[in-house]
Amino acid sequence: MLNSELAAQLRLAFDDDRDADTFLMRLDRYGPELVASLRAVYGDRTEDLLDTLIPVLLHAFHTRPADLRRLDEARLLRPDWLQGPDVVGYVAYTDRFAGTLRGVGEHLDYLQGLGVTYLHLMPLLRPRDGENDGGYAVQDYRAVRDDLGTMDDLSALARDLRGRGISLVLDLVLNHVAQEHEWAARARAGDPAYRDYFYLYPDRTQPDAFERTLPEVFPDFAPGNFTWNGDAQAWVWTTFNTYQWDLNWSNPAVFREFVDIILHLANRGVEVFRLDAIAFIWKRLGTDSQNQPEVHWLTRALRACARIVAPAVAFKAEAIVAPADLIHYLGTGDHHGRVSDMAYHNSLMVQIWSSLASRDVRLMTAALRAFPPKPTNTTWGMYVRCHDDIGWAISDADAARVGVNGAGHRHFLSDFYSGEFPGSFARGLVFQYNPQTGDRRISGSGASLAGLEAALDAGNPTWTEHAVRRILLSHAVILGFGGVPLLYMGDELAMLNDYTYADTPEHAADNRWVHRPRMDWPSAGAVQADPSTPAAQVNAGLRHLIEVRKTLPHLHASVESEALDSPDPCVLLLRRDHPAGRFLGVYNFSEHRIQFPSYALRDHVGEFALDHLTGSGFSLYRPTITLDPFRALWLTPTHMTI
């Protein structure tokens, strides 16, 4: 990208030769990638876009705080900072965790004590008033929600987190803005420049053509994909809700705006951006307008801009899509390892719940084995629960591999986790039933879905013990998988469904708020006093899992977990081949005590193995080993004799 003339011109923008050298070296490194990515999307409009983009990069570089520049240099020296086994994530709503941003700062001892190094605060940029899709209808990307604090509070919190080795993670909504956003207001007022920021159609001709192949995201309360707006005198593309206007990323000005937003927030201390609804940002007639090739070119271009100005920043793709599509968000072919640094492993979460319900891991094994390998410089984000519903993303092809009917199994899971299936331990709610497809997603907290709510209501100690073990087993899987385990706020205390969500008018129509309770700080304080409670048992178990994880280099995310065939359908085997040695995760997904054949372990870890979770050794020359209900083992070979 750089020639001597351009380099000389850019050097004039700097007072310090060292700063000039840094910027120009980064531009020389990532500039060609930026130009190629933009040209793949914008063609002959690329040069004009670059003319307006370079000043944005220069301004952000000049205004980047000194401590963040030091972080940039540290991350350049350790590019795998997001991949180590010491990385543990925590996900929370600011107001529900601590009231305000300053309140979060008062609970950093708690987070640090839990072992957290990555804090994702759910949408906190200023949303529209009233219904706002949980904060994902952003009205102003440069302001914090009024009741949470100010941008200065956000910067102060980020600085305090950095001081404790905790990275701040924020959502960046890329596909749409609130209809009250300044861009949308100018579009409604007739400004042609801003009308081109959106998809506006004077009649139904184009919307009807697109609708022929577009799915509905929220068929219950936001059917269709277009909304008539009288002020704009146009049909507006609104994939998610009528008040969320989809952005037109085919307009280079939209790309430039988001580069400016990303770098502004990065300079406020945001270290990881969760790229919300990234799969939807490019529209193409005759398709479902998801996962289009331009999405990956655009993400790669955004990443190149961030690398030039703020290389400490990482991207996490929120792409809840099929595995064959998901891998592209981490990079394949020419994009290999050059798109997002991290992506959600939604399939792992779905398969955990599927296996708990069926007591059968064969489908999970088949699904995990079908995943293409990811780039070694990227990482998965794994989770047992999140803020969202559970959609049963189980493919017919994976189901067929193990002789299961995909549609029938998805129906079973919806029945099971809504509590309709006979003998179900779960307490969940059906979310967004689609009568045309039969699709029923599920809302519910991890503990309620794992059976704790039903067990406590029944006063059944055995059921309670099983529920606690299910919760810990599920977290053992994500903590032992390799990548960034993401703990959802309250799961470390086995918090149950919060049915009072219906008392809040703007939440009443969205039952996902049943698993978005306020943090139970009294319970958090009491877990040490009474270790017999389910909350205390889960909390102690999770803390132990995290402590052990941090000692195991085998869990570095550059290495993938390989699902192995298991001689028992209840037992999941996950192997990791790391230079430090082999690691074998063994997980009993049933409430039964299993006599598991030793050869199935001996073939991978030898005659003697150490279980790092208990510190116990196993002699695997014996015919079987005993796996207690919901038992997890983290095994490595050892030369010790038993």
Which residues does the annotation mark as catalytic? 276, 318
**Token duo for residue 469:** 């073990």
Q: Is 279 exposed, middle or buried (0-12, 13-18, 19+ CB in 10 A)?
A: buried
**Token duo for residue 609:** 């193995």
* 329-361 core/surface letters (b: 16 or more CB in 10 A; e: else): bbbbeebeebbbbbbbbbbbbbbbbbbbbbebb
Q: Which residues contact 162 (CB under 8 A, 6 or more apart)?
A: 67, 71, 168, 269
Given 3-state DSSP classes, what are the helix, strand and coil percentages for the chain, each rounded to the nearest 5?
A: 45, 20, 40
Tell which phi-psi region holds residue 586, choosing left (phi > 0), alpha (psi between -120 and 50) or beta.
Answer: beta
Residue in 318, 310, 316, 297 with CA at minimum distance from that of residue 263: 310
DSSP at 374: P
Measured distance CA(367)–CA(363) in Å, rounded: 6
Evaluate the CA torsion angle 212, 218, 224, 230 in order and state its sign: negative
Measured distance CA(391)–CA(437) in Å, rounded: 13
**Token duo for residue 383:** 């989770």
Name the 3-class secondary structure at 304. Answer: helix
Name the 3-class secondary structure at 108. Answer: helix
Residue in 334, 368, 290 with CA at minimum distance from that of residue 40: 334
